[in-house]
Structure 1
Amino acid sequence: MEDRKKPAGPKPANKRGAARLAAVQALYQMDVSGGGVLETAAEYETFRLGKEIDGELYREADPAWFRSVLSGVVSRQKQLDPVVRNALTEDWPLSRLDSTLRAILRAGAFELTGIKDLPAAVAISEYVDIARAFYGDGEEPRLVNAVLDRIARDRSTAK
C-alpha cells in the first residue's frame, strides 16, 4: 500500500492568500516609508502582483481583495488599533510589536471585523501562515493566532 503523505512546508497560497500577503507587505512598506495608499497600491498592482522581480516570481493575487484589505486597514486604522490592543495581553502592547507584526494583525483585524460572511478560521489560518513566512515557528505566529482568534470570538459574541 502506498503511503501518500503531504509534503512538509508551507502550502501554496491561493489568489486571496497572495493578496493578503501583498497587503501585509504594502502596509509594512507604507509604515516604514511613510508612503500613501494610492501610490503603494498602484506600485504593487503594476510591478509586483503576479510579476517577476529580481528573479522571484510573485504569485498571482486577487487585486480587488488586495485593494480592499489595504484601503480598509488604512481607512479604519483608528478603529482597528484599539481592537488589536484589546486582544493583546498586557505584556504585549501594540507599540512593542514590530511593523510586520502590526501589519499582519491590522489586516487580520480588518477582515474579521469589516468583511461580512468571512469564515474566521480561513482568515486566521492564512494570517498565521503569513506570520510563519516572516517569523518561522517562533512566538509571533502563535501570537497572531491568539489575537485574531480573540477578535473573531468578540465579533461573534457581539452579533
Structure 2
Amino acid sequence: MSAGSSPEEPRAPRATGLPHPTREGAEVTLERTVPARADRLHGRSRDRIRALDVLFEADAKQVDVLDVLAERLRVTAAQTPLPQLARELVELYAPYALDIDEDLETHSRDWPLHRMPAVDRAILRLGSAEVLYGESDTSRGAVIGEYTKIAEVLSTDDSPRFVNGLLQRLAEVRGLLS
C-alpha cells in the first residue's frame, strides 16, 4: 500500500473524460479543481486569462459580457486592475458573441456548447474572437498555441487537444466565417 492511500475505501478509477454527448442520460463527473500554475504562462497569456475570467463570469451569471467588463473595470476581484489587453479582447469578442457561438456549435462535431466545460467554452469563445476577428500582429498559429496552453493549465486533460483542433478548424475556414 502506498503512503497516501487509505485502507478504509478503495480508490475509484479516474474518469477517462467527459461522456459522449450522444449518450442519453450520461452524467458528467466533476473533477476536483486545482489552482493553475501561473509560472507556466507569460504576460500575454495571463492577460488572456483575465479576459477569460470576464467571459466565464458573464456565462455563469448569464449576463452580458460588457456589463461584467464594466463592473471589473470599476471593482476587480484580482489584486491588480484589469490589463488593457484583457479589456480589448473582451471588447473584440462582445459584438461577435452570437456569431462565435454559432460557429463553435457548427464546427465542434457533436459537442454543443452547453455540454462543454464552462472553462473550455470561455477559452473557445475568446480564442475564436482572436482567430476570426483579431487584427493582432501575432500569427494565428501562435494565438491558437496560447489558447491551447491555457487549456492545458486551466482545464481537463482532453481540453488542449479539443481547443487546438476546434480553433484550427475555425482558422481554416476563417475567410468563409468572418
Q: Is residue 24–residue 104 contact of structure 1 (8 Å, CA) maintained in 2?
A: yes
1:72 alignment partner, one of 92, 95, 98: 92
Aligned to 1:12: 41
Name the amino acid aligned to 1:155: R
Give me the CA root mean square deviation.
Answer: 2.7
Instruction: Identify the structure with the greater helix proportion.
Output: 1
1:28-55 CA distance string (max 9 Å, x none) = 1111123443452244445356x2xxxx
Identity over aligned residues, as a percent?
A: 27
Shift of 1:71: 2.2
| TM-score relative to the length of structure 2 | 0.66
Change in Cα spacing, 1:10 to 1:85, as seen in structure 2 (3 Å) is farther
Shift of 1:142: 0.7
Shift of 1:72: 2.4
The residue correspondences of 1:59-98 to structure 2 (distance < 5 A) are 62-63=83-84, 65-89=85-109, 91-98=110-117
Change in Cα spacing, 1:122 to 1:30, as seen in structure 2 (3 Å) is same
Q: SS at 2:173's partner residue?
A: helix
Aligned to 2:145: 125
Q: SS at 2:101's partner residue?
A: helix
1:38-89 CA distance string (max 9 Å, x none) = 452244445356x2xxxxxx6x8741x2112212222211111122122211
Shift of 1:98: 2.4
Aligned to 2:68: 40
Name the amino acid aligned to 1:32: A
Inter-partner Cα distance in structure 2 for 1:108 and 1:31: 16
Q: Which of the pair has more CA radius of gyration?
A: 2
| TM-score relative to the length of structure 1 | 0.73
Shift of 1:104: 0.7
Gaps of 5+ in 1: 1-8, 52-57
Aligned to 2:15: none
Inter-partner Cα distance in structure 2 for 1:81 and 1:36: 14
1:85-119 CA distance string (max 9 Å, x none) = 22211x32223112221111110110011113541
Change in Cα spacing, 1:32 to 1:157, as seen in structure 2 (3 Å) is closer
Q: Is residue 17–residue 61 contact of structure 1 (8 Å, CA) maintained in 2?
A: no
1:7-36 CA distance string (max 9 Å, x none) = xx963322x221211111111111112344
Gaps of 5+ in 2: 1-37
